[in-house]
Amino acid sequence: MVNVTYYIDKNNANKKGFSPIKANIAVTVKTAGKTTYKNISKTVDRVKVRHWNKKKQRVSPPRPDEPDNDHENINLRLDELQSDAKIYFKQCQQQDIEITPDLVRKYLNGDKMGRQANNPSLWEAYDLFLKAGQLEKAYNTTRNRKTIHTKLKEFEEKTGYKMTFENINLEFWDRLKEYILVDQNHGFNYLAAIADKFKAFMNWSHERKFHENLAFKKFSAPEKEISIISLNWEELQQLITFEFANNKLAKARDFFCFGCLTGLRYVDLVQLTKDNINDGMIRITTQKTNKEVIIPVFPGLQTIIDRYPEHYKLLPKFSNQKINEYIKKCCELAGIKALTEYKTFVKNVTVKEFRPKHELIGTHTARKTFISLAYERGLDIEMIKAITGITREKTLKRYLQISNHTKKEKLMAAFNTLGEIGKST
pLDDT digits (tens, 9 = 90+) for 349-386: 677 788 899 999 999 899 999 998 988 888 888 888 88
The set of long-range contacts for 305-308, using a CB threshold of 8 Å and a minimum separation of 24, is 305/277, 307/254
Examine the pLDDT at 260 and tell me if it is beyond 70: yes
Cβ-count burial 272-307 (b if 16+ within 10 Å, e if not): beeeebeeeebebebebbeeebebebeeebeebbee
pLDDT digits (tens, 9 = 90+) for 302-352: 999 999 998 899 999 999 999 999 999 999 999 999 988 877 666 566 777
At the second CATH level, the architecture of 233-411 is Orthogonal Bundle (1.10)
- Count of residues for the chain? 425
CB 288 within 8 A of CB 138: yes
Helix (H, G, I), strand (E, B) or coil at 104: helix
Examine the pLDDT at 425 and tell me if it is beyond 50: no
The 10 Å Cβ neighbour count of residue 194 is 22
Q: Which residue(s) pair with 282 in the sheet?
A: 277, 295
pLDDT digits (tens, 9 = 90+) for 210-250: 888 888 998 988 776 667 788 999 999 999 999 999 999 99
